[in-house]
């Protein structure tokens, strides 16, 4: 659990946290009593229960702190009971009881989510999967791993690395996040361009439904066309339909060669041209194509003690990565791409990492952006998908609106808004739009919210590309989904969870 | 529609067709009357309706023949009405009316399925998508195509090929099958190893529900985490939940170099070893790894006028294909793999195709197997998924059982069973198990059915890897899915199609 501690640098002293609307407690949910705690003591080992004196237990409320607050310390609940079962049977017993008693439950993995989906809103019981952390099996020929939902992503990646494979997803929180949580939130991350969505790589799930039913769909088959693929419903359901207890997932061959280059690019049009050529020239070895603008670069160079590897400043920067099975071949492919991009003027400068350390520094330039913006001021963050051709237009539009309202670039240093910028995974059409202000305030927010969501909606984009809905975006779902689809989502929720005990107040 | 004709060589004179159990007509479905035909005439152009005199129309029943029978002419219905709408609105009007009137409907794409899913069982209305065949849009930067469901796969592949992309699936029926049918049946095929499942590559769907509701989820985003991914339910639902009218799908870069080799392999263990090494050495360019046994090879050489490219006979054969963006690199990777496999004795002989014609011949060797077995006798076919390590064991088991029953290899030429063999997509764990007899007869069937399904079930395999359930495997679903999952499948069916009008008698 060291990873979990490392991943929460701001845990003790949160800064500049934006307030969120907390829905009222649903009074139909039962409040815990000592007799409930007695039940859990009968079905679970004592060391897996954390109950405060408020519900008849003996745990210090401080022990529950890390389960009640998310890692940015933005969302915070008031749970008095944390259960950490070790087996699927225990999970089934817990849910069956809670369903009968109408006790609300929030399933929790590594608690690294960004939309308030993994912490209680009020007094929900926290059902932590962290004690279910065993690999159940590995097929060395096909590269399929089957494991408990509470396995930490990085530990799984190390496990399969020993056998020559790699997990098909990777993200900043890998040291803490759990595979069950990754699946429940349909996590994206930086390997998405290469290995695609979890809807493709997850082969089987074991899921416990609110009534205690164990849906055993934990198969390890790449192909299975025997009716509706129910497991897909749980991928991205954010724990609101059932609790994932087991996962089987296909893992690709681990690449033996990795190359990284950073490019200086004169326009967003050129970023797109570079991406198209990179797909053509590097095709099967292209593993990342990330971009950021000059405002992001300014912040990251200022705050991360990094030096740009390029000779000058550019409107846009691109990080291109190849991963393959033959270093010489990949060098040649990437070298030819860079030469062509420079020759035809798509790219104005480029630097190729010469060793592991340079690779790490180049990635830090991209991955250090969120933290650097956070150090600059109060950051409004939007994780959106938009068709690539118009992806960056929204950044200019928002900047213009703020300028027109005299909040940005008008009177210089006294403007409340400091930076309007964008970065993201261009290959996936995923933009992280950020507005940095001196503090969170209504007159700034009103200029671009709900305008951002309207803009995304009018381009048939998604208001949540990879972070999910959680509590944060529940009220905005209509911008991404037509009414008919939301209606069917509700019907599916009622079908699996008629009492609504699972992760209430979230998603829908 | 030339493709459709080409793909039905046996249409007129079917041979050796195995009988199937036809469920009784559900009397709750309304029988068509002239007033129903009048309604359809009001909402559809005249040329899109085929109605026989039996229901008050004027079409010759012969014109409906191709819609009533599947392409193997094994499954056959008795529909008197075929509707070929041109727009989503027309599909919606048809379904709304049929739902209100309780008229059963079978949606039909290219009608190339193998499990009786795409033809009526009794007098269901055939809703053919063939008039909805336009590409709606193509994003040249991301390679995402959006199109009507009735687009023929090969035509789509040609369309995206012009732009440097390739469809992520390919199968024998590509000249006739339609993308909507591919999605509805979750088609697999020979590019599956490289580009994965349609659950990963389909980005959006437009679906008309039985009550006429149009679920517009036709987005073109690689990432969208805004709640339950409803479209996944329709992928592989075989037209039993809704009618797919539009599809958006991501297309990979078209490979510019293709290499193919055929290998002679001494054992199934060695086939697995070769596969493992191929993944390691060719990693990102490996695009197919198919295998077949000596019995398959015997049949194909006998019936296809092909000569083995190898020097001798072997227990197993492998076809390995690479597809990449650089011919020299791929040659080097595949060359090194073959050398290593020969040197360490995993492979005893190998031949590398030197030109396009040799590539085609090698593929014919693999793809000619089903036809060659069909020419040998009455073929019992099973399309199953089994974990790779035990994949081929079932072939030996079935052969032993038949031998013990004195039906195979006992009295020589007078044995009813001629061949027990296996071939398939090893990379996907997908075996095509075939038993060839002089004719279909109960004393043969009884030996291995339901034994085959029990065997698959005991190894947590799938009784349908890529062909689907349809009418053929409906009664065997319990061998692949636990009762709880089938129950939830039924509930989902009732939710979307409460009157059960869509593709009745199939899947569930």
In a domain, A473, yes or no: no
**Gap from B365 CA to chain A (nearest CA, Å):** 23
* Count, residues in chain B: 508
Give the pLDDT score at A326: 93
Pair type for strands B257-265 and B349-352: antiparallel
Q: How many CA atoms lie within 13 A of B242 on its CB side?
A: 28
Give the 3-state secondary structure of residue B190: coil
B112 and B37 within one domain? yes
Q: Which stretches of A187-297 are assigned E, i.e. beta strand?
A: 202-208, 214-217, 243-250, 257-265, 286-293
Is residue A129 within 8 A of residue A78, CB to CB? The reply is no
Single residue among A106, A128, A150 that ends a domain in this structure: A128
Sign of CA dihedral B145, B151, B157, B161: negative
Single residue among B344, B369, B394 that ends a domain in this structure: B369
Give the pLDDT score at B483: 94
Of A230, A326, A332, the CB nearest to B489: A230
**Range of lowest pLDDT (A158-162, B29-33, B171-175):** B171-175
Give the pLDDT score at B2: 29
Q: Is A354 exposed, middle or buried (0-12, 13-18, 19+ CB in 10 A)?
A: exposed
CA angle B429, B193, B399 (to 5 degrees): 25
Q: Can you tell me the mean pLDDT for A132-154?
A: 96
Q: How many CB atoms lie within 10 A of CB A355?
A: 8
Q: Can you tell me the mean pLDDT for A135-139?
A: 96
In a domain, B505, yes or no: no
Grade residue A258 by pLDDT with cuts at 50, 70 and 90: very high
Q: What is the CATH number of the domain that holds B91?
A: 3.30.43.10
Identify the residue whose tokens are 């309604």: B39
> Would you state the structure tokens that stand for residue A123, as one six-digit string?
């007094």
Q: To the nearest whole number, what is the mean pLDDT of chain B?
A: 92
**Gap from B58 CA to chain A (nearest CA, Å):** 38
In a domain, A301, yes or no: yes
**Range of lowest pLDDT (A242-246, A346-350, A413-417, B122-126):** A413-417
Is residue B151 within 8 A of residue B249, CB to CB? The reply is no
State whether A282 and B325 contact (CB < 8 Å): yes
Q: What is the CATH number of the domain that holds A428?
A: 3.30.70.2740
**Gap from B435 CA to chain A (nearest CA, Å):** 22
pLDDT surpasses 50 at A263:
yes
pLDDT surpasses 50 at A16:
no
Single residue among A216, A250, A284 that ends a domain in this structure: A250
Q: Can you tell me the mean pLDDT for A109-133?
A: 96
Query: Which residue does chain A place closest to B467, by CA atoms?
Result: A225
Q: To the nearest whole number, what is the mean pLDDT of chain A?
A: 92
A461 and A382 within one domain? yes
Grade residue A18 by pLDDT with cuts at 50, 70 and 90: low
Is residue B268 within 8 A of residue B426, CB to CB? The reply is no
Q: Can you tell me the mean pLDDT for B372-398?
A: 93
Please tell me the total count of domains within chain A.
4
Q: What does the buried/exposed string (b/e) look like for A239-271 if buried means 16 or more CB atoms within 10 Å of the residue's CB?
A: bbbbbbbbbbbbbbbbbebbbbbbbbbeebebb
Give the pLDDT score at B114: 87
Minimal CA–CA distance to B497: which of B73, B198, B60, B105?
B105
Q: Is A298 exposed, middle or buried (0-12, 13-18, 19+ CB in 10 A)?
A: middle
Q: Can you tell me the mean pLDDT for A91-119?
A: 97
State whether A464 and B226 contact (CB < 8 Å): yes
What A341-344 contacts at long range (C-beta under 8 Å, 24+ apart), as own/partner pairs, is A341/A263, A341/A274, A341/A277
Of A228, A389, A486, the CB nearest to B233: A228
Grade residue A200 by pLDDT with cuts at 50, 70 and 90: very high
B385 and B346 within one domain? no
In a domain, B502, yes or no: no
State whether B228 and A226 contact (CB < 8 Å): no
Grade residue B12 by pLDDT with cuts at 50, 70 and 90: very low
Grade residue B17 by pLDDT with cuts at 50, 70 and 90: low
The size of the A-B interface in CB pairs under 8 A is 286
**Gap from B163 CA to chain A (nearest CA, Å):** 11
Q: What is the pLDDT of residues A266-317, one digit of tens each?
A: 999 999 999 999 999 998 999 999 999 999 999 999 998 899 999 999 999 9
pLDDT surpasses 90 at B19:
no
Range of the domain at B462: 377-467
A246 and A139 within one domain? yes
Grade residue A82 by pLDDT with cuts at 50, 70 and 90: very high
State whether B229 and A186 contact (CB < 8 Å): yes
A201 and A150 within one domain? yes
Q: How far apart are the C-alpha atoms of B76 and B68, rounded to whole Å?
A: 6
In a domain, B118, yes or no: yes
Backbone phi, psi, residue B7, to 5°:
-80, 5
State whether B464 and A226 contact (CB < 8 Å): yes
A349 and A302 within one domain? yes
In a domain, B11, yes or no: yes
Of A199, A463, A507, the CB nearest to B200: A199
A140 and A113 within one domain? no
Q: What is the CATH number of the domain that holds A174?
A: 3.30.465.10
Q: What is the pLDDT of residues B190-213, one digit of tens each?
A: 889 999 999 999 999 999 999 999
Give the pLDDT score at A340: 97
B273 and B246 within one domain? no
A308 and A261 within one domain? yes
B359 and B273 within one domain? yes
State whether A279 and B143 contact (CB < 8 Å): yes
Q: What is the CATH number of the domain that holds B302?
A: 3.30.70.2190
Q: Which residues contact A416 (CB under 8 A, 6 or more apart)?
A: A407, A408, A437, A438, A439, A441, A443, A444
Q: How far is CA B452 from the centre of its chain?
A: 20
Of B228, B461, B491, the CB nearest to A221: B461
Contacts of A201 in chain B (CB under 8 A): 196, 200
**Gap from B124 CA to chain A (nearest CA, Å):** 21
Q: What is the 3-state secondary structure (H, E, C) of B46-93?
A: HHHEEECHHHCCCCCHHHHHHHHECCCCCCECCCCEEECCCCHHHHHH
In a domain, B62, yes or no: yes
Q: How far apart are the C-alpha atoms of A265 and A258, rounded to whole Å?
A: 22
Minimal CA–CA distance to A316: which of A395, A231, A247, A206?
A395
> Would you state the structure tokens that stand for residue B390, as one six-digit string?
């035990």
B399 and B313 within one domain? no
Give the pLDDT score at A19: 67
Q: Can you tell me the mean pLDDT for A394-400?
A: 96
In a domain, A507, yes or no: no
State whether A232 and B227 contact (CB < 8 Å): no
A206 and A307 within one domain? no
Q: Can you tell me the mean pLDDT for B92-115?
A: 97
């Amino acid at each position: 659990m060291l990873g979990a501690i490392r991943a929460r640098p701001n845990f003790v002293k949160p800064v500049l946290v934006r307030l969120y609307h907390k829905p009222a407690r649903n009074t139909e949910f039962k409040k815990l009593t000592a007799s409930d705690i007695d039940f859990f003591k009968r079905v679970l080992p004592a060391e897996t229960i954390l109950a405060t004196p408020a519900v008849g237990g003996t745990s210090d409320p401080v022990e529950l702190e890390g389960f009640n607050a998310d890692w940015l310390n933005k969302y915070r609940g008031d749970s008095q009971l944390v259960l950490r079962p070790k087996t699927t049977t225990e999970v089934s017993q817990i849910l069956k009881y809670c369903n009968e008693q109408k006790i609300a439950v929030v399933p929790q993995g590594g608690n690294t989510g960004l939309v308030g989906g993994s912490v209680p809103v009020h007094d929900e019981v926290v059902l932590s999967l962290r004690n279910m952390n065993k690999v159940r099996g590995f097929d060395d020929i096909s590269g399929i791993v089957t494991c408990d939902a509470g396995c930490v992503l990085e530990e799984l990646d190390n496990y399969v690395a020993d056998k020559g494979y790699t997990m098909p997803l990777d993200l900043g929180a890998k040291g803490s996040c759990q595979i069950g949580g990754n699946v429940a939130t349909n996590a994206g991350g930086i390997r998405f361009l290469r290995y695609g969505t979890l809807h493709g790589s997850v082969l089987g799930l074991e899921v416990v439904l609110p009534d205690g039913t164990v849906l055993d769909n934990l198969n390890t088959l790449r192909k299975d066309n025997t009716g509706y693929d129910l497991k897909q419903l749980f991928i991205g359901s954010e724990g609101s339909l059932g609790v994932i207890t087991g996962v089987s997932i296909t893992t690709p061959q681990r690449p033996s060669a990795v190359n990284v280059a950073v490019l200086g690019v004169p326009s967003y049009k050129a970023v797109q041209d570079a991406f198209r050529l990179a797909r053509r020239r590097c095709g099967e070895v292209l593993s990342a194509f990330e971009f950021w603008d000059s405002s992001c670069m300014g912040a990251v160079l200022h705050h991360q003690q990094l030096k740009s590897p390029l000779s000058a400043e550019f409107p846009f920067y691109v990080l291109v990565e190849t991963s393959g099975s033959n270093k010489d071949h990949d060098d040649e492919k990437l070298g030819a791409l860079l030469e062509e991009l420079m020759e035809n003027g798509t790219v104005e400068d480029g630097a190729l990492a010469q060793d592991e350390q340079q690779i790490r520094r180049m990635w830090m330039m991209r991955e250090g952006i969120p933290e650097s913006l956070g150090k600059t001021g109060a950051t409004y963050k939007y994780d959106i998908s938009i068709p690539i051709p118009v992806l960056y237009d929204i950044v200019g539009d928002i900047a213009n609106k703020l300028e027109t309202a005299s909040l940005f670039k008008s009177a210089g240093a006294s403007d409340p808004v400091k930076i309007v910028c964008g970065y993201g995974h261009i290959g996936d059409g995923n933009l992280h739009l950020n507005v940095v202000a001196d503090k969170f305030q209504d007159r700034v927010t009103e200029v671009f919210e709900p305008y951002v969501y309207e803009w995304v909606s009018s381009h048939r984009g998604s208001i949540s590309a990879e972070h999910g809905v959680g509590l944060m975006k529940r009220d905005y779902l209509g911008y991404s989904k037509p009414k008919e689809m939301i209606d069917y989502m509700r019907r599916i929720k009622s079908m699996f969870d008629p009492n609504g005990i699972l992760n209430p107040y979230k998603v829908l």
